[in-house]
Structure 1
Amino acid sequence: MSIHAFAPRPRRAAQGVWLPAACLGLDEAAAQQVLADWLRARGISAPLSLQAGVQASEIGWWASLAPEAAQAWMPHFDTLSLAEVVEATLQVPPEQALACETLVAMLGSPLGYPFNSLEAWASAVRVRCHIAQAAQRTALAFKTLAAERPEAFWRYDEDHGFVLQAGASLVEALVAATQPEATGRLYDFSCYRATEYVILLGVVRELAAHHPALLAQLQQVNEVHAIRSGLFHDTFLVEHGEHAAPLPPKFYVPGDRVWFRNPDIVSSDITGYEGSWVIYMGGGLFSNFWRRDAPFTLEAKCVEIFHWRHAMALDEDGDLCIDEGLVARHVADTVADPQRLEQVLGRMMRHRDGKGVYADGGCIDTTREHPRCVALAETSLPATLADLMQQWAQPACRDSAPQVQ
């Protein structure tokens, strides 16, 4: 295909992954072969579709599962059983299974993931796998208004939050804070902050292996200031989807950060129970940082959040709180009653209402979040970190730092 003949066709429902023609070529048959060989080297042999497309003024290809494969492997964009399909169909070694599940889910995505090279895509998949695996190993103490970190690695600064001790390894510090085998104890976290540490750990593991210069820069930033809350989102994450055009309720890719909203107006006003931030770990399971041996299925998470409204109590100070023991009893009763379970899931497994609205929506978010690409050829994150360091060098900016722990 010549560059003059290279033109987008009407876009299919599934967009998958966009790659520039520079890495696949302009000829459709040749590009299909390059991509098929690349995927086959990673254990994936599947029918593919290529569609010419333009991304940021650059010509390239939208690569996706062929319609028959998409329907068989992830019907209606449901990826919750995709790990079983991958295991049965592709028969990859266990150590490759998570990466294969991630690649296939991205190829079947209803909304495109653009990359500037095959290596950038490979890097993103490695980061997602690191995040999912870190989430599996994370065990914390749930405290919404308190926080602590291992002092050998972290110190608390009133203006800057928990910052890295000078010379401490950022990888080791994140592991020590989130994985109790490293220190022998659990540390206090909110679920939101916990997801930040798990995501950052996934990113820095990739940098340690493939981009040590960027890891050194990130280490330097963390010795000065915590990147947290909205700043963390803006620096590291991409929000996939939009409220006006929600992602399918059962579409998740390993390494996604996922928000489950509490749709009850009363119990959602209790600190820590506005909703729940988790990591999708693949295999149909979502992280449970407070009981890592009992990860959530989508249904289990929906039922738990539904029953927060039935477990409100007063704490020792007379403030509203949630009795977790009572939640567990309500959940057990609902799970044991198929008719009741169907009613609860019918209510909760809907997309959530918009901000400030408590009407007929459920707890399923319309978007997902995932890390920005940190491949060696990418430049956005290094530029962002340099800007942050310059900003924090100004006293006025340091004094106005957010105080969320």
Structure 2
Amino acid sequence: MFGRFAVIWRFSLMTSIVPARDRSPLMSDASHAIRPSQGGIRFQHAVGQSLDGAQRRFLALLESMGLDHAVQLTQEVDEGGPSVRFALLDTYASQWAPDCDTTQLCEKLGLDSENNAEDLEREIVLAMLLGPIPFSFPSYDELASAIRIRRNVAQGGGKTVLAFDTEEAERPTDCWTYSEARGFTLLPGWPLIESLKKTTQPGASGKLYSFSCYRATEYVVLLGIARELAECNPSVFAQLQTQWETRALMAEEFQSTFLREHGTLAHPLPFHYYVPGDRLWFRNPDERSANIEGYEGSWVFYIGGGFFTNFWKPDQHYTLTSKCVELFHWRNAVVQTAAGKLQIDENIVEERVRQSLRNPAEVAAILKTMMRLREPTGIYREGGCIDATREYVRCVCPGTSELVFPGNVLPLPA
């Protein structure tokens, strides 16, 4: 039944990991990062089908991707009942992603995830199989939707080009309207998917619209979810359309409705571990420049192939190195306006980054400072820019969807 898969039976008592962004003390390096012994992709509490059914369908997917020879299958029983977990065999994990460094996967395996959707999905599955914390799904359908949403987010993030602005915001006036109480909402008759594409992808509109990086990531996530819901769960897609005709969900309300966190400050993910479609935050560890609005840090997506989104410059995606170098030089580009206000001069940042990237010794010194776990909010001592967590989308399928929309109910004041 299992073909070339290694099969292990395990009976264990497993503790669930509760995301908590700032509840734990700083870990100064990666020595306390979660180890991959219990990670990978897990089916648990299968809904609408047997656990065996989810297992068989995933085995067929792995075979179609040419990954069946490289995967270990573990059947487990814990306090929640039986589950089955898939992970890469150690031999392949150490070759393809040593120390859980998934940024090397495309180069090592010859994948073109930027131009080939099948390669992108293959990279997504491989990175999830390498995960040090299991990605748990109640059904195979939820896993398949999660893969497609990650593909949508990675592809949409790579195409997104906007105008950076922390004070002004604009949207296409033919499909959006704005009020302080409701945010940007859709005008009657405008479909959500096309409106989001027109707003975020200049190839569709020919114009760049002003965004902060945080709000930009919400639009990319929303578009990725909407595209999947339109296919797999039309009734929830209709609710999503109605929600954005009524009131936009933003910031913490958006995050709690659509996303979950992977990892914690107490148990951070490895510094080079990313799955295409992850939303993540690079923190600015320099207190002075971090107090300038818009430069507290940088919200991005990992889009695969070792690259992160750059919403402001088309076809100039960041690598982990170039992103760290850019954030480092924010501290060297603080200027004061005639009115006495501090701001960042982006021309200085660009020139300093250019100079640094020509000097390997300087890059190494910068990375030594930046490639550390970030400190909790409000603390600036010896931490770096790397977050402990990544964010990904909740379950969306009929019968297992976790999406609950508040409609026109306003969020409680902070």
Give the corresponding residue for 1:187: 209
* Partner residue in 2 for 1:98: 120
User: For residue 358 of structure 1, what is the aligned residue in structure 2?
Assistant: 380
Change (3 A) 1:401 1:43: farther
Moved more, 48-57 or 323-332: 48-57
1:341 aligns with 2:363: yes
What SS class does the counterpart of residue 369 from structure 1 fall into? strand
Q: Is the 8 A contact 1:21 1:61 kept in 2?
A: no
2: CA distance between counterparts of 1:33 and 1:280? 30
Counterpart residue number, 2:75:
52
What is the CA distance between 1:31 and its match in structure 2? 8.6
CA distance change for structure 1 residues 14 and 282 in 2, over 3 Å: closer, same or farther? farther
**Equivalent position to 1:76, from 93, 99, 110:** 99
**Aligned twin of 1:291:** 313
**Are 1:213 and 2:235 counterparts?**
yes
How far 1:25 moved relative to its partner? Answer: 4.9
Q: How many residue pairs were aligned?
A: 384
Paired amino acid for 2:285: P
What is aligned with 1:327? 349
In the alignment, structure 1 residue 159 sits paired with structure 2 residue 162: no
CA distance in 2, matches of 1:84, 1:376: 37
Q: Which residue of 1 aligns with 2:195?
A: 173
Residue matched to 2:157: 135
Q: Deviations over 1:130-170 (max 9, x none)?
A: 00000111010000011010011110012111111122100
Maintained 8 Å contact 1:32/1:50: no
Aligned to 2:28: none
TM value normalised by structure 1: 0.89
Supply the AA of the counterpart residue of 2:40. Answer: G
Secondary structure, counterpart of 2:110 in structure 1 = helix
1:255 aligns with 2:277: yes
Q: Which has the higher contact order (CA 8 A, sep 6+)?
A: 2
Distance 1:107 1:150 in 2: 40
Q: C-alpha separation between the residues in 1 aligned to 2:78 and 2:397?
A: 18
The two structures, once aligned, show a CA RMSD in angstroms of: 2.5
Does the alignment pair 1:62 with 2:65?
A: no
Are the aligned partners of 1:46 and 1:65 in contact in 2 as well (CA < 8 Å)? Answer: no
Identity percentage of aligned residues: 42
Determine if the alignment matches structure 1 residue 317 to structure 2 residue 339.
yes
Gaps of 5+ in 2: 1-7, 15-35
Q: C-alpha offsets along residues 352-375 of structure 1, whole Å, 9 cap, x if unaligned?
A: 112211111110101001111212
Q: Give the residue type in structure 2 aligned to 1:82.
A: L
Task: Give the residue type in structure 1 aligned to 2:11.
Answer: P
Give the direction of change, closer, same or farther, for the CA distance of 1:67–1:155 in structure 2 (3 Å limit): same
1:223 aligned residue (226, 230, 245):
245
Contact 1:83–1:98, Cα closer than 8 Å, also in 2? no
1:330-381 per-position Cα deviation (integer Å, ceiling 9, x unaligned)? 1111111221111011111111112211111110101001111212332321
Q: How far apart in 2 are the matches of 1:257 and 1:31?
A: 27
Using a 3 Å threshold, how does the CA distance of structure 1 residues 234 and 54 change in structure 2: closer, same or farther? farther
Partner of 1:20: 44
Deviation of 1:47 (Å): 1.9
Counterparts in 2 of 1:206 and 1:352: CA distance versus 1, 3 Å:
same
Structure 1: gaps of 5 or more residues: none
TM superposition shift of 1:6: 7.0
Instruction: Determine if contact 2:54/2:139 at 8 Å carries over to the other structure.
Output: no
Aligned partners of 2:54, 2:257: CA distance in 1, in Å?
Answer: 33
Separation (CA, whole Å) in 2 of partners of 1:145 and 1:55: 50
